[in-house]
Amino acid sequence: MTNIFSDTIVALSTPPGAGAIAVLRLSGPAAIELTDGIFFGRRLSEQPSNTLHYGTLRNGEAILDEVVVGLFRAPHSYTREDVVEISTHGSDYIIREVLALLVRRGARLAEPGEFTKRAFLHGAFDLAQAEAVADLIAADSALQHRVALNQMRGGFSRELKDLRQQLIDFAALLELELDFGEEDVEFADRSGLLRLLTHVQTVVQRLLRSFELGNVIKNGVTTVIAGRPNAGKSTLLNALLNEERAIVSAIPGTTRDFIEDEVSLEGIKFRFVDTAGLRDTTDEVEAIGVQRTRQRVEQAAVVLYLFDLVTATPAEVAADTAALPVPSGATLLLLGNKLDEAKPETVAAFQQQFPDLVLLAAAPRTGLEELRQHLLATVRREGLDASSATIVTNLRHARSLEVAGEALVAVQHGLTSGAGTELVAADLRAALRALGEITGDISSDDLLGSIFTRFCIGK
């Protein structure tokens, strides 16, 4: 293949700091020759692709390290260029020396994400797949991993390319009509185009809806535990986290700082925030805590309002929950705690007024499984199945889908209102451009720059 890049880049591809092994990676036309200049074992330029070689790295006569070198010839490599991976012992000194040697001989230190950028520009994968590499590396839950892997392997891209292709076929016919100018010819079947648009819109809207879940999978669900002092908020958080992290005390008003932690339920991350108690207070420090609690509630996706079934009254619970600044779109769950000590008739009165009430006892840890199921239900939206459908996790992709969706609405509108071919074709082109930006079929230097500089060096 022809080389797009004439220079050869090098970087440490494993995290900095002392590990057992460090991997330095070179990519570019001189990768093999440069390594041959410092590696003594076999001449790499005479070896076949996809092979490993043991030998020593030398700076002149001085041996720097015993290493294993992996050889990948273009196009059988990550970047599709000649690539050499040198596994050294993970000493900062060795890494520095080897990098300096290679740079002195003509290699250039790679910019962030440059290996992946080269792979993209050589057509190894599209933009959405390249972005999934970063997501895969960052994945720390089973679901996040599965979604990123599917995207990296091209599942999402295939779906988009399929949609685009269908639209391109129609756009071509419209452009043809335009070429004929004044004459009143119609090559494109309008009702067929409308049917196609409805189908494409359905897919675009499903993908857009999936972003809500995708965001949850990637960033977790912010779940704020609110309630009056001593309701049992810290105890509940401990029970959920299954460890003694929050400070539990019998003195009301002691949780002044927020305690946060993540719990993964069936692959979905919930980020729990324990808050200071909600109540009118004259204590200044605590007043700030109450104020901050309200701010946290405003940012929550799920708010758990917890109350003490023994001491609270239905009127108090109704007043507190009405005053909570729960954002629209967020879910408020009412939790009655200390079921173990509550009188059955009190519980019945609460249940009558609040039919959706979840009953539990945080200290002896009963009712937690039901709570977990309620939490999971808040993220399971209609029509979305986390286990099968493509899920959009990237804000950039969601934005482009939105633009595409709006342009498609304009096309639909233009067709039904009898607008000129010129207008319809322009809107269709806008939709195609937006869809093409996701996979990078249409890209600009700015876009590529903003994507790849977010990668670390060495990727």
Q: Which residues are part of a known binding site?
A: 230-235, 249-255, 274-277
Which CB, 97 or 274, lies closer to Zn ion? 274
Helices (H), 220-312: 233-241, 284-298
Q: CB under 5 to 8 A by kind: which of ligand GDP, Zn ion, none does 231 bind? A: ligand GDP
List all residues 6 or more positions away from 378 whose beta carbon is below 8 Å from its beta carbon. Answer: 221, 301, 302, 331, 333
Extract the tokens encoding 434.
């937006």
Q: In the complex, what is the shortest distance from the CB of residue 231 to Zn ion, in angstroms, rounded to a whole number? A: 8
275 lies in the binding site for ligand GDP (CB under 6 A)? no
Single-letter code of the amino acid located at 327: P
Member of 144, 215, 222, 255 binding Zn ion (CB under 5 A): 255
Q: How many residues bind Zn ion (CB under 5 A)?
A: 3
Alpha-carbon distance of 300 to 418, in angstroms, equals 46
Cβ–Cβ < 8 Å for 31, 82: yes
113: nearest Cα among 445, 443, 449, 440 = 449
394 binds Zn ion (CB under 5 A): no
Least distance CB 268 / ligand GDP (angstroms): 25
Of 70, 190, 166, residue with least CA distance to 435? 166
Contact present, 304 and 223 (Cβ < 8 Å): yes
Measure the CA–CA gap between 125 and 130, rounded to whole angstroms: 7
Candidates 230, 378, 393, 400: give the one binding ligand GDP (CB under 6 A).
230
DSSP notation for 159-192: HHHHHHHHHHHHHHHHHHHHHTTTS----S-HHH
Q: Tell which positions 346-405 bind ligand GDP, by CB under 6 A.
A: 361-363
Per-residue tokens: 294: 């309200």
By CB under 5 A, residue 275 contacts Zn ion: no
Tell me: does residue 315 bind ligand GDP (CB under 6 A): no
- Given the rule CB under 6 A, which of 62-70, 152-160, 228-236, 407-415 is the region that contacts ligand GDP? 228-236
- The interface mask with Zn ion, positions 40-69, x = CB under 5 A, is ------------------------------
Q: Is the dihedral of CA 406, 408, 410, 416 positive or negative?
A: negative
* Least gap, CB of 165 to ligand GDP (angstroms): 57
Binding partner of 214, given Zn ion, ligand GDP, none, CB within 5-8 angstroms per partner class: none
According to the binding rule CB under 5 A, does residue 234 interact with Zn ion? Answer: yes
Amino acid at residue number 48: P
Stretch that binds ligand GDP, among 246-254, 293-301, 343-351, 381-389 (CB under 6 A): 246-254
What is the C-alpha to C-alpha distance for residues 248 and 171, in angstroms, rounded to an integer?
A: 65
Min dist CB 354 to ligand GDP, Å, is: 18
- Pull the structure tokens for residue 35: 């390594």
Does 338 bind ligand GDP (CB under 6 A)? Our answer is yes
Assess contact for 25 and 458: CB atoms under 8 A: yes
> Which one of ligand GDP, Zn ion, none is in contact with 249 (Cβ closer than 5 to 8 A by kind)?
ligand GDP
Beta carbon nearer to ligand GDP, 349 or 368: 368
Nearest to 350 by CA among 317, 321, 319: 317
**Residue 25 binds: one of ligand GDP, Zn ion, none (C-beta under 5 to 8 A by kind):** none
Binding residue for ligand GDP (CB under 6 A) from 249, 299, 416, 453?
249
User: Residue 128 class from Cβ within 10 Å (0-12 exposed, 13-18 middle, 19+ buried)?
Assistant: buried
Q: Which stretch binds ligand GDP (CB under 6 A): 135-143, 175-183, 223-231, 379-387?
A: 223-231
Residues near Zn ion, by CB under 5 A? 233-234, 255
Residues near ligand GDP, by CB under 6 A? 227, 229-235, 248-250, 255, 277, 337-338, 340-341, 361-363
